[in-house]
Structures are given as C-alpha cells and as structure tokens.
C-alpha cells in the first residue's frame, strides 16, 4: 500500500493508459506545458510528448468535437474539460453527437471517447466554477457517467472507461484532489456497473457519490455515536444507476437519505427517490429523505458557500426527521 493524493491516483491511471495503448492520447486546455489546471497531468508532456499530450485552444466545442472525430477514426481520446460549468459550451457535441451517433447510424459508429472534468464546490471559486451538473448528464441516453469518490476508483475507473465502445464522462470532485489515502500498489480496474456499500448498517441507508461520500461517512460516524447504524452506499456510476444495490440496502434498513451536491429540483436525488418509492415502497418505513445544495448560484463567500452545501449535520437532521432509527423496529 502507498499513501497518495487523489490527484496522484488519477495521474497514474492516465500514465498507465498512455503506456498500454498507443491509440490513447490526452487533450484539453493546459494539460501539457502547464501540467493541467489541477496538476493531474503534471509531467506527462515530458514523458509522452506533444503528440499524445495535446494543449488545445480555449474552445470546448472545438476540442470535444475533435475528440469525437478521433474516436470515430479509431483512436482512444481522453478529453479534459477544466470544469463542468464550461462543458456546457460543448453540450451540443456531447449530447447531439457523442451520445447519439451510435443510434443515429443504426449501430455502425461507436464513439469510444472519455471526457474528464472537475465538478463541485467548496473551494471559493464562484458560481461559474463550482456547480455539480453531473445529474444533468445522467439524464442523457448513450452516455456512461462515472463519479469516483475513493482513491481506488480514481485509479481504476479509467481503464474500463477506455475499453467502453461508447462515450464515458468522468466527474472528479475538486475538493478531493488534495485528499491523501492509501492505494494498493497493484490496484487494477474496478467494476463500473455496481454501487459499493462503503459502510454496513441496519437503521438507515445513506446514498452518496463523489464529493458527498465523505459527508455521508462523517454523518454515519456521528450517528453511530448516538446508536444509529447507517449503511453508506457509494453510487460510483450515475448512469446506468445500480438500482438493485439500492433496493437491497433499503430492504434491510427500511429508510433512506440521498446526499446530492446538485440542486434538489430535477436532480439525480429525485430520480433515486422515485426509483426507491416505485420499486421498494412497501419496504419503506418513512419517505425518502434528500439533502441537496441550496437552490442558488454557488456563493463565493466562504461562509455562504459552506451554508449552501450539504453538511454532515444536515444529513443527521434528515435522518432524525425519518423517525424510528436506532430501535429494535429499525
């Protein structure tokens, strides 16, 4: 085991992909000489050269479109977009081209494209750099949406993503880049199809992903001190959702709270709540709870940003509102 940052784990995944397949290349704003806006690609230009670590102009639509063309031509491009907010400038390319070409071509053309981008708030970067829009992309058929929350997933999701014949979007929460943790020296690819139970419990299911996993785990630790044992499920993949793991957990705990940094209205938490209610209604002892960001553009001021984001105390309060947790009837 080696102690590394989340950023280090992502960089090693990129390095392994570049070494193992000559078709793989990385492109995006400042990924080369600057080393990446978040230093994920630092040193890769010197190791692999400018043909495979390509700095692009400041035009998301253009370089995402170039990545789609390269994928159609047999390459395995990894496109980095600085932040999810800026991906909206390439929304036409992602939704109308990358996600749709296989269907529109009658199955003739796959688009084996990986797009990485930073998501989430908590770093005082203002509204245009801080939103969590991955739930929007999870709405789109034809895309796979990945949200690594652990070092093992940061290291292990890229290889199977590159092996997918269809476009994959990887959302990296910006608050995780500096987080240190242990990583198995022989860590390999991870399962993209199933959610993971990060902490077993009996009284309530806390459902989280990406940056909110830490919030859910902190809440679970504090609830345990009060005699409530929360099970924490890490979604890992937002599309396709692993509904079976969620239903299995709710069947044991009979209560659920979804922790989602997106806005509450029309969110991935709303979709999860609907699926649980539709498919596990008679297992529930209380309505599904949701803890989301405040419905405002993300504030810059630190105290306002912290107030707008889901916090462990918000999760604990949501569990309290469900009632009945921690007793023999839980």
At 87-126, the pLDDT tens digits run 999 999 999 999 999 999 999 999 999 999 999 999 999 9
Residues 207 and 250 in one domain: yes
One domain, residues 83 and 162 = yes
**Domain region containing 68:** 2-183
**CATH number reported for the structural domain that contains residue 295 in this entry:** 3.40.50.920
- Residues paired with residue 115 on neighbouring β-strands, in sequence order: 79, 169
Which residues are part of the catalytic machinery? 60, 129
Would you say residue 283 lies in a domain? Answer: yes
Residues 210 and 293 in one domain: yes
pLDDT in tens, 180-224: 999 998 888 999 999 999 999 999 999 999 999 999 999 999 999
Considering the domain architecture, whether residues 18 and 160 belong to the same structural domain is answered as: yes
Q: Is position 188 within any domain?
A: no
Q: Are residues 225 and 84 in the same domain?
A: no
CA atoms of 144 and 194, how far apart (whole Å):
13
- Residue pLDDT, tens place only, 37-90: 999 999 999 999 999 999 999 999 999 999 999 999 999 999 999 999 999 999
- pLDDT score recorded for residue 36: 94
| 121 domain-assigned | yes
**Same structural domain, 264 and 288:** yes
State yes or no: pLDDT of 328 exceeds 50: no
Look at residue 250 and tell me if it is in a domain: yes
Question: Looking at residue 151, which CATH number applies to its domain?
Answer: 3.40.50.970
Per-state percent for the chain, helix, strand, coil, to nearest 5: 40, 20, 40
Instruction: Using the predicted structure, report yes or no on whether residue 230 has a pLDDT greater than 80.
Output: yes
Please check whether residues 242 and 178 belong to one and the same domain: no
Q: Does 200 lie in the same domain as 172?
A: no
| 191 is a domain residue | no
What's 128-180 look like in SS3?
A: HHCCCCHHHHCCCCCCEEECCCCHHHHHHCHHHHHHCCCCEEEEEEHHHCCCE
Backbone phi and psi for residue 175, each to the nearest 5 degrees, phi listed first? -75, -10
Tell me what pLDDT residue 197 has.
98
Total number of domains in the chain: 2
Distance from C-alpha of 162 to C-alpha of 166, rounded to nearest angstrom = 9
Q: What percent of the chain has pLDDT over 90?
A: 96
Q: Is residue 147 part of a domain?
A: yes
Does residue 330 surpass a pLDDT of 70? no
Backbone angles phi, psi at 299, to 5 degrees: -70, 155
Closest-CA residue to 249 (of 265, 229, 263, 267):
229
Where a domain ends, among 183, 208, 229?
183
- Report residue 168's pLDDT band, with 50, 70 and 90 as the boundaries: very high
Q: What is the mean pLDDT of the chain?
A: 96
Would you tell me how many other CB atoms lie within 10 Å of the CB of residue 329?
Answer: 9
Q: Based on the domain organization, do 156 and 209 belong to the same domain? A: no
Q: Please identify, among 142, 162, 183, the residue that sits at the C-terminal boundary of a domain.
A: 183
pLDDT at 329 over 60: no
Residues 151 and 200 occupy one common structural domain: no
Q: What is the pLDDT of residue 187?
A: 84
Could you give the CA distance from residue 28 to residue 179 in angstroms, rounded to a whole number? Answer: 24
Asked whether residue 330 is domain-assigned, the answer is no
Smallest CA-to-CA distance from 115 within 155, 75, 146 is with 146
């Amino acid at each position: 085991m080696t102690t590394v940052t989340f950023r280090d784990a992502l960089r090693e995944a990129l390095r392994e992909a570049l070494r193992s397949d000559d078709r793989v290349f990385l492109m995006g704003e400042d990924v080369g000489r600057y080393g990446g806006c978040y230093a994920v690609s630092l040193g890769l230009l010197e190791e692999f050269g400018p043909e495979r670590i390509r700095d692009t102009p400041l035009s998301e639509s253009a370089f995402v479109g170039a990545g789609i063309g390269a994928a159609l031509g047999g390459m395995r491009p990894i496109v980095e977009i600085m932040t999810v907010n800026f991906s909206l400038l390439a929304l036409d390319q992602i939704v109308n081209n990358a996600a749709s070409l296989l269907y529109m071509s009658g199955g003739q053309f796959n688009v084996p494209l990986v797009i990485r981008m930073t998501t989430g708030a908590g770093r005082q970067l203002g509204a245009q750099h801080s939103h969590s829009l991955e739930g929007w992309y999870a709405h789109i058929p034809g895309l796979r949406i990945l949200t690594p929350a652990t070092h093992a997933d940061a290291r292990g999701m890229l290889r199977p993503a590159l092996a997918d014949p269809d476009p994959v979007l990887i959302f990296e929460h910006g608050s995780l880049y500096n987080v240190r943790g242990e990583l198995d020296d022989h860590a390999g690819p991870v399962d993209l199809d199933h959610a993971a139970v990060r902490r077993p419990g009996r009284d309530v299911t806390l459902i989280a992903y990406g940056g909110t996993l830490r919030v859910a785990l902190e809440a679970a630790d504090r609830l345990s001190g009060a005699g409530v044992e929360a099970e924490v499920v890490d979604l890992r993949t937002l599309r396709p959702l692993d509904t079976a793991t969620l239903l299995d957990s709710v069947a044991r705990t009979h209560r659920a709270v979804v922790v989602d940094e997106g806005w509450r209205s029309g969110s991935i938490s709303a979709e999860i709540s609907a699926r649980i209610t539709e498919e596990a209604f008679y297992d529930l002892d209380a309505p599904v709870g949701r803890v989301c960001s405040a419905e405002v553009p993300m504030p810059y001021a630190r105290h306002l940003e912290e107030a707008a984001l889901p916090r462990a105390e918000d999760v604990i309060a949501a569990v309290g509102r469900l009632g009945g947790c921690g007793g023999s009837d839980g």
